[in-house]
Every structure is written in C-alpha cells, then in structure tokens.
C-alpha cells in the first residue's frame, strides 16, 4: 500500500467559547486511557482502502431534491449552523454598544463571508433607507456638496480587497486572561472586496482648501453620530467612500448604504453609515479619539491618534478550543496582515519561538489585506507551542508579547499586535497560553 | 461654483425580466414630453450645494438601534430585497432540472456573494450530511481510497479566485430572442474564492497509472448522479477538490460539502456534491457529454468535449432593462474572463463596434477569474450601441456575433462567447439588440 500523508491527524473544532467536557473526555480516552496501545485500528490511515463496490449509494442520491427558486438568496447548509458571529458575555454593559466576533477558526482563504463580518456598534444598528440617505462634504471647501446614493453610484469607482480590524482586537490578551478561542482573541478582524468612490475625487469635486485643509471629520448617521478625525494625506491616498462589500451593496452591520474606508487603519475610523465629511485645519479631538482609542503608556501619559494597525498574524488552525485527535500530518494555517502594506514573510514556530520555519503565502498577496499562510507539520504527540510571526514590506517584525509589554506596559487596551501562542497538550487539546 | 462630473446621469436598475411600464413612461415623460425644455431644474447637478445647516438629522440618528447578536449570520438590507437569483419562466420543464441566474446588473467588483451564485441542477438540490459524505478514488490506481470530509480538511490546501460559467450561458442569444436583462443573457456566471485540496495530490496519493490513466470520471451524489469525463492533464494542472467558497464551507447550491473545480472549464464539469473519481484510459462518453453539452455545427456534425470557456466580456451597467435618466457623465462597467488564463485588455465601443477605447482593468487581474473593467463615458443623449471586447493572454479576441455564426451556424446551444450589444435609445431606455 502506498504511503499516505493521512496517517492520523484529525481536528475537532470547538467553536463555543469553552471546551465541551465531552470533547476533552473523548480526547483523554484516546490518548491517556491506553488507546495508543490498544487502539491500533483507530490510528490507521483514516482514508481507508476503497473500491467502487464499497461505496454505498447514499440516501440523497436516491431522491429528487427541491428545484431552483427555493432560495432566491441562499444561506449556508443547516449543518454549518454553529459557524456564526458570537458575543462575549459580560464584555460590555449593553448590546447596543458592543461587539460580535468573526469565527476565524471556521473560515478559509481570505474573504470573510459578509454574514460573518464582525460587528461593532456604539448605539446599535440603524435601518437606513438609501433613498433618504445623504453625504455632505463641507467645511474648508469652495463648494459644499450634498450627495444622494444615486449620485455616488454613477461616479468613477474602484474595487479593492482590504481587511478591517478593530483597534481593540486582541485587547483581552494584554492581561493574562487568555480567552479560549481565536474567535475571541482575534475575531474583530474581517476582510472584504470593497467598491466605492475614491475620497480624493470627492474632495477635489468640493475644491477643498489645499493650504489649510489638513484634516477631515467623518460622522456616522447611527444613533451615536460617531465622529473621527482623518488626516488629509490618508484621505487623498487610498481612502474610499464605499457602498459595496463582497460584490453586493454593504450589509447593514457594516454601514449600509455608505461607509468610509481608510485602508490599514483601525476599524473605528472606517466610519459606518457615513453622512458627513468636514474639512478642517486641526484634529477635532472628539470623544472617540480622546477618552477612547488612546494608548495608555507605562509613564502615565497616553498616545493619541495611533490608528495604523501594525503587522500581525495568528494561527487559526490548530487554535484554542480545537482538539487534535491523532498524531501525524497536519497543515498549520492562519492569517497575516499589516496596515502599512504587503506581508512579505510569515514564520511559524512549533516550540514557542525557539525555531522558526517560513510559511507559504497564498497569492495574490495584496496590500492592507489579509494574507493566508500555510505550513506543513507532523505532530509527534508531544507538547507543542504554536506561534506565527508576520513581517511586512517596511521590514517591521511582529513582536513577542514580552517585547510589546516592555514598551507599552500592561495598561493598554488598544493596538495589541503581539505574537499569539497556542499550546498543544499531549492529549491534543489546544489552549490559549502566554509565554514569557 | 466648481465644475463637477455630476451633470446628470442617473441609472434606474430594472432587475425584473421585463421593463416595468411605469419606468419607461417616466423616462418618456422626461425626454419626450418636453422635460428637456420645461424641466431645467430636473437636469441640474443632482449633488446640490450643501451646508451643515441643510443636512437634516435623519430619523435613524435619533434612535437607538438593535444591538449585536440580533443577526448571528447577517443578511442584506431589506431595501435590497429585489437583488436575487431569478428563474427564467418557461425555460425548462421542471424546477429540478433548471437554472437560476445571478443578478449581474446589481453587483460590484468581482466576488459574487455566495447567496447570489447562479444555480444549475439536474435533479434538484441534495441535503448532504458532511459526516456521512465520502469521496472515492478508484479505477486505474495502485490503492483505491475512500476519504471522509475530516480526511480532506486536514490535507494541504490552496485558495484561489475563479469564475464558474455554465456552458449554456448566453445560449438564448444564438437566435435573435434578445432576452431583456444581463441577468438572463449572462447570469449563469459567478466568481468566488475557492479553497480545497489540489487534485494532483489526491491522484498521487492513490498511485494513479501514469501510462494508461489518461482520463477521470467525476460523479456527483445528487439525484442525477451526474457524470463528466476530465482529461488527466487538466486534473494534474490546477484542478482542486473544493470544500470552501468565499471563506466558508461551500453553499448547498454549489455542491456542499465537496465539489470538483477545473478552472476555466464549463460549469457542468465542476461536478458538485462530488462522491467519486475514477481513473480510466478513455473518455466515458456519458449522457451529459454526448447527448448534451455538444456543439452542433452547420455541416450537421457536432463537436464533443469542447469544454473551455473562451474569452468573453459583458457590460453590466448600463445594461438591458436599465434606464439612463439624464445625459452627461456615466461610468461604463462590466466583467471580462477567459478559461485560458488572464485577461490582458478590454475595449469598449459606444457606436456598435466602429470605434473602440481601452478600458481600465481592476487589479489584481487573476487567471481564469472575472476581471472588472471600467470606462468613462459622456452620454450626449443620442442613440448609442454599447459593446465590450475581451482579449486574453493567448491573444484571442472575443468575436462579434457575426464572426461566431460564420463558423458555428445558428444551431448551437452552448459556448456562445460573442460580443454583447446594448442599445441606448434617446429616451434612455437600454435594450438588448443584435447588430449584424
């Protein structure tokens, strides 16, 4: 019989926010209850020898299924019902000012299905009639303008793939709280193909003041009327006023019918339900950029307007909450991204950062976009510490948690881009740990 | 006041399969009922002068919307309810062996939302339990194999963006039937990011016969047990056994939990609900490759196994059923693709092919993938004939309908990749026409 890669690894995803006791017990039975000796059959190649005769005709092949038109807008299989956005109980006081996380452990490639894009609201989800929605551009401009959606839809457009990451993603890891799954450690991260109008074009249409107009204020039309200051350089670079996401109009949770997109910048600055852009000569210092989204430093001061999401990566399989059922071949895979441009390399370690191997990057690698990386691994059944480390086109190397803490201390909430560690125990259970 | 691009074009999409009489009447009123003279206000720049004061606070900004967790799996806005897959009434005798079309006129960029990917069934939609699903590889192999989904999910994987187009797409245009919208002329076309296992790897795992094994038979586990022959060269090149689409597990309508993907090849060969791959020494000549999906030539003979989708393009806006409400700036946009590799150029004509201008291609341009093209246009209000023409990396130029008919006659059903013409009338109504 020909040698096969299939000599035994199986991953059981545990997408809930704690490990089911039944899953742990099954793993323990296999590994610690003598299964290694007694259960030779269980360790055999799971891709069993087959012949055409051994392949039973399944029930569904004997049936005539429903026809077209049953699902004018389709949904995932009922067998995938546990792949969903999840809240973190107790994280916030109200659901209207809260977050739900993308199930990164169940996803493939780089596109986040729009139905699973993470949510972050400051005053709940508005239900906006696009025929009534307006975008105003005013302030230090020659000609203030008020755009309908029809106006914007006929202007020159662009489509690009970009990630959106909340500045508070991975915030809980500043302490040693070790939330259980990658959905909660890194799930305020999603990636879409966005289509919209270059912001540069709209600013030029308004005749913005090229001498004094150094900043923009972006305002959302949600109940929070959320506001953020945007530097004019970013606005004139690759920023867009976006109306479409993954081929269709924006989803309500992501700003329908219009949002700002400033690629590479923290999520809160990608102002959703965008209604107003004001050109000004200094930062506005609004609530969400002074009291919130500032980095508290060890010396008691804080950094304001630190908005670029630095290079970061995370292994999504195997990851916390999953259980590796057998030794042998396993593909390690995850995501890497940088707010400063393209990812140029990702390294993977299985021994907590002592040794590193270069992972394969899936092409095309796009700027300020998620990059899928993959690395072969043969698990020998011993304990392992899995890490990934991203390097971007500026040469920046994703730091270990220890390095980040040396600069930033432990009082930060935002902008944690440290290397994530997943511990694989001898019983195959994968957990979130911090290594010193 | 600064000059603006916004001097008047507005598109009203008409996604139904015929123009609503009300839409046509409104356009006629504007253009033919004296609106051009009497309605000067209606022709003014729709992006009106604005000030912060003129921007009323909308109702939804005064409210606290629902919080996170309301939509564990999100859906489009209720205002986008008419963006859906549509059947063509009377096209087939039963819904179980039929097709629904992607609303290309309402889409942006290159990704097709999975819920809007076109459907094609030969015996309805099976409801498959992935835990029970198996893939057999047998025939001229050293070691037949039977894979579970767990087996496949842990093997080395790849992700790539590819289009899938039914071989019968645009079939109705062989005659002069002129179906009304791009949804029906070209909507058996979609594009996704696919993730799966390279078929080469599975064939090597089985130890396929490198001397005699020249063909594969792929079989689906739907009620039709649909079968197609695949040449081994394509199987060893870029073919994949695919389990994920746009970041999540395949949708049921696209083959959940497993399909074959042979990039660039007609849709029927991307066998859905894949259960069996048999290695053989000659083509199987099954029902779906002898009685169906063959090209009837003018001399009475027919071409069999013509499966590559040649270079093709179509303008999606403006397109049939839409109404251009005003003269002036308008961005022409559409899609181009080739089953032989990358698109290298798209030309656009507004006078039925007499003069051509090169369109802008959205980067990255990927192989055997949709490419979004865009071209500026100032409509002068006169009649226009809009066409696009794709050229791929082999140098192949998409033919005019007349050129294609000279070779293929009019008895063909499949593989119509002719240039599409949209006529813009003076009243702004866009219709599907054929030019000689």
B153 touches chain A (CB under 8 A): yes
| pLDDT top residue among A308 and A38 | A308
Q: Which two tokens stand for residue A147?
A: 């755009």
Sort out which chain B residues have CB atoms less than 8 A from A112's CB and list them: 247
Question: Contact A413/A371 with Cβ under 8 angstroms?
Answer: no
Q: Which two tokens stand for residue B259?
A: 């399909």
pLDDT above 90 covers what percent of chain A? 72
Of all residues in chain A, the one with the smallest CA distance to B8 is A151
| pLDDT top residue among A19 and A226 | A226
Q: How confident is the model at residue B106 (pLDDT cuts 50, 70, 90)?
A: very high
Given an 8 Å threshold on Cβ–Cβ distance, is B79 in contact with A10? Answer: no
Sort out which chain B residues have CB atoms less than 8 A from A155's CB and list them: 5-6, 329, 331
Residue B54's pLDDT is 52
Given an 8 Å threshold on Cβ–Cβ distance, is A11 in contact with B111? Answer: no
Q: Nearest Cβ partner of A247 from B109, B123, B244?
A: B109
Three-class secondary structure of residue B358 per DSSP:
strand
Given an 8 Å threshold on Cβ–Cβ distance, is A65 in contact with B96? Answer: yes
Residue A48's pLDDT is 52
Sort out which chain A residues have CB atoms less than 8 A from B322's CB and list them: none
Average pLDDT over residues A176-183: 85
B130 touches chain A (CB under 8 A): yes
B76 touches chain A (CB under 8 A): yes
Sort out which chain A residues have CB atoms less than 8 A from B124's CB and list them: 63-67
Three-class secondary structure of residue A189 per DSSP:
strand
Q: Which residues of B152-182 are buried (b: 16+ CB within 10 A; e: fewer)?
A: bbbbebbbbbbbbbbbbbbbbbbeeebbbbb
Name the nearest CA neighbour of A164 among A312, A313, A370. Answer: A370
DSSP string, B218-283: EEE-STT--EEEEEHHHHHTT-EEEEEETTEE--GGGTTT-EEE-TTB-GGGS-SSEEEEEEESS-
Average pLDDT over residues B148-166: 95
Given an 8 Å threshold on Cβ–Cβ distance, is A62 in contact with B225? Answer: no
Given an 8 Å threshold on Cβ–Cβ distance, is B145 in contact with A48? Answer: yes
Binning chain A into helix, strand and coil, the percentages to the nearest 5 are: 20, 30, 50
Q: How confident is the model at residue A42 (pLDDT cuts 50, 70, 90)?
A: very low
Q: Nearest Cβ partner of B49 from A74, A144, A248?
A: A144
Which residue's structure tokens are 């040649």? B310
Given an 8 Å threshold on Cβ–Cβ distance, is A223 in contact with B65? Answer: yes
pLDDT over 70 (residue A33)? no
Average pLDDT over residues B50-60: 66
State the complex-level ipTM: 0.90
| pLDDT top residue among A48 and B346 | B346
pLDDT in tens, A189-203: 999 999 999 999 999
pLDDT over 90 (residue A366)? yes
Question: Contact B371/B110 with Cβ under 8 angstroms?
Answer: yes
pLDDT over 60 (residue B2)? no
Cis previous bond, B326, omega within 30? no
Residue B384 and residue B347: Cα distance in Å, rounded?
Answer: 16
Length of chain A (residues) = 436
Name the nearest CA neighbour of A391 among A336, A316, A352. Answer: A336
Residue A220 and residue B166: Cα distance in Å, rounded?
Answer: 42
Q: Nearest Cβ partner of A207 from B2, B52, B374?
A: B2
The CB density around residue A413, as the number of other CB atoms within 10 Å, is 15
Residue B311's pLDDT is 98
pLDDT in tens, B182-217: 999 999 999 999 999 999 999 999 999 999 999 999
Given an 8 Å threshold on Cβ–Cβ distance, is A5 in contact with B156? Answer: yes
Q: Nearest Cβ partner of A49 from B47, B112, B145?
A: B145
Given an 8 Å threshold on Cβ–Cβ distance, is B108 in contact with A248? Answer: yes
Residue A105's pLDDT is 95
Question: Contact A316/A184 with Cβ under 8 angstroms?
Answer: no
Residue A110's pLDDT is 98
B52 touches chain A (CB under 8 A): yes
How close does chain A come to B365, measured CA to CA in Å?
10
Which neighbouring-strand residues pair with B347?
A: B358, B389
A246: left (phi over 0), alpha (psi -120 to 50) or beta: left
Best of B1, B65, B70 to disrupt the A interface by mutation (most A CBs within 10 Å)?
B65
pLDDT over 70 (residue B223)? yes
Q: How confident is the model at residue A181 (pLDDT cuts 50, 70, 90)?
A: very high
Of all residues in chain A, the one with the smallest CA distance to B158 is A362
CA torsion B4-B6-B7-B11 (nearest 10°) is 170
How close does chain B come to A318, measured CA to CA in Å?
10
Sort out which chain B residues have CB atoms less than 8 A from A121's CB and list them: 65, 67-68
Q: Nearest Cβ partner of B142 from A2, A11, A108?
A: A2
How close does chain A come to B264, measured CA to CA in Å?
18
pLDDT in tens, B272-328: 999 999 999 999 999 888 878 888 888 888 888 889 999 999 999 999 999 998 888
- Fold annotation for B118-303: Sulfite Oxidase; Chain A, domain 2 (3.90.420)
- CB contacts < 8 A, A to B, total 429
Q: Nearest Cβ partner of B146 from A54, A95, A193?
A: A54
A130 touches chain B (CB under 8 A): yes
Mention every residue, 6+ apart, whose C-beta is less than 8 A from residue A89.
A17
Q: How confident is the model at residue A289 (pLDDT cuts 50, 70, 90)?
A: confident
Which neighbouring-strand residues pair with B349?
A: B387
- Fold annotation for A106-303: Sulfite Oxidase; Chain A, domain 2 (3.90.420)
Q: What's the CA angle centered on A28, arms A23 and A30, to 5 degrees?
A: 100
Residues of chain A with CATH 3.90.420.10: 106-303
Average pLDDT over residues B132-154: 94
**Choice among A281-285, A304-308, B247-251 with the minimum mean pLDDT:** A304-308
Which residue's structure tokens are 């440290």? A418
Q: Nearest Cβ partner of A130 from B79, B151, B252?
A: B79
A90 touches chain B (CB under 8 A): no
Which residue's structure tokens are 């924006």? A250
Name the nearest CA neighbour of A185 among A418, A423, A424, A427. Answer: A418
CATH for A312-433? 2.60.40.650
Mention every residue, 6+ apart, whose C-beta is less than 8 A from residue B354.
none
Q: How confident is the model at residue A22 (pLDDT cuts 50, 70, 90)?
A: low
Residue B280's pLDDT is 97
Given an 8 Å threshold on Cβ–Cβ distance, is A73 in contact with B77? Answer: no
pLDDT over 90 (residue B169)? yes
Which residue's structure tokens are 């017990």? A25
Which neighbouring-strand residues pair with B389?
A: B347
Q: How confident is the model at residue A305 (pLDDT cuts 50, 70, 90)?
A: confident
pLDDT over 60 (residue B20)? no
A361 touches chain B (CB under 8 A): no
Which neighbouring-strand residues pair with A259?
A: A242
**Choice among A222-231, A239-248, B202-211, B402-411 with the minimum mean pLDDT:** B402-411
Residues of chain A with CATH 2.60.40.650: 312-433
Cα atoms in the Cβ-side hemisphere of radius 13 Å centred on A417? 26
Q: What is the rounded average pLDDT for all residues in chain B?
A: 87
Given an 8 Å threshold on Cβ–Cβ distance, is A67 in contact with B95? Answer: yes
**Choice among A231-245, B58-72, B158-172, B283-297 with the minimum mean pLDDT:** B283-297
pLDDT in tens, A136-169: 999 999 999 999 999 999 899 999 999 999 999 9
Given an 8 Å threshold on Cβ–Cβ distance, is A65 in contact with B223? Answer: yes
| pLDDT top residue among A1 and B141 | B141
pLDDT in tens, B401-424: 999 999 998 888 899 999 999 999
pLDDT in tens, A43-69: 233 455 554 445 678 888 888 999 998
Given an 8 Å threshold on Cβ–Cβ distance, is B153 in contact with A100? Answer: no
The CB density around residue B285, as the number of other CB atoms within 10 Å, is 11
Given an 8 Å threshold on Cβ–Cβ distance, is A221 in contact with B130? Answer: no
Residue B211's pLDDT is 97
pLDDT over 80 (residue B269)? yes
How close does chain A come to B251, measured CA to CA in Å?
5
Question: Contact B334/B375 with Cβ under 8 angstroms?
Answer: no
């Amino acid at each position: 019989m020909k040698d096969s890669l299939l000599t035994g690894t199986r991953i059981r995803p545990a997408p809930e926010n704690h490990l089911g006791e039944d899953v742990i017990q099954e793993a323990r039975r296999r590994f610690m209850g003598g299964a290694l000796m007694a259960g030779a059959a269980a360790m055999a190649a799971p891709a069993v020898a087959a012949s055409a005769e051994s392949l039973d005709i399944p029930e569904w092949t004997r049936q005539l299924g429903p026809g077209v038109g049953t699902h004018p807008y389709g949904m995932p299989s009922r067998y995938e019902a546990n792949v969903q956005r999840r809240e973190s109980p107790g994280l916030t006081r109200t659901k209207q000012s809260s977050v739900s996380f993308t199930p990164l452990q169940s996803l493939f490639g780089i596109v986040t299905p729009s139905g699973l894009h993470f949510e972050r609201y400051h005053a709940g989800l508005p239900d906006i009639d696009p025929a009534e929605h307006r975008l105003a551009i005013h302030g230090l401009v020659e000609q203030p303008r008020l755009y309908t959606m029809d106006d914007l839809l006929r202007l020159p457009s662009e489509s690009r793939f970009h990630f959106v990451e909340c500045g508070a993603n991975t915030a809980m890891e500043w302490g040693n709280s070790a939330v259980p799954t990658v959905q909660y450690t890194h799930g305020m991260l999603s990636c879409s193909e966005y289509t919209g109008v270059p912001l540069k074009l709209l600013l030029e249409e308004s005749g913005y003041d090229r001498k004094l107009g150094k900043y923009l204020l972006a305002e959302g039309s949600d109940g929070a009327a959320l506001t953020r200051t945007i530097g004019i350089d970013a606005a004139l670079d690759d920023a867009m006023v976006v109306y479409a996401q993954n081929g269709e109009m924006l989803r309500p949770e992501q700003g329908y019918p219009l949002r700002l997109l400033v690629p590479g910048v923290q999520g809160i600055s990608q102002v959703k339900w965008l209604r107003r852009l004001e050109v000004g000569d200094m930062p506005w210092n609004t609530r969400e950029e002074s009291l919130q989204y500032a980095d508290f430093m060890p010396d008691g001061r804080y950094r304001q307007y630190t908005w670029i999401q630095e290079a970061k990566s995370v292994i999504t399989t195997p990851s916390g909450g999953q259980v590796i059922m057998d030794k042998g071949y396993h593909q390690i895979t995850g995501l890497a991204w940088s707010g400063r441009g393209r990812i140029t390399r990702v390294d993977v370690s299985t021994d907590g950062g002592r040794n590193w191997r270069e992972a394969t990057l899936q092409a095309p690698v796009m700027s300020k976009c998620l990059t899928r990386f993959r690395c072969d691994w043969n698990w020998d059944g011993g304990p392992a510490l899995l890490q990934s480390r991203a390097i971007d086109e500026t040469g920046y190397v994703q730091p270990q948690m220890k390095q980040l803490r040396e600069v930033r201390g432990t009082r930060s909430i935002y902008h944690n881009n440290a290397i994530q560690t997943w511990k694989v125990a001898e019983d195959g259970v994968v957990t979130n740990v911090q290594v010193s």
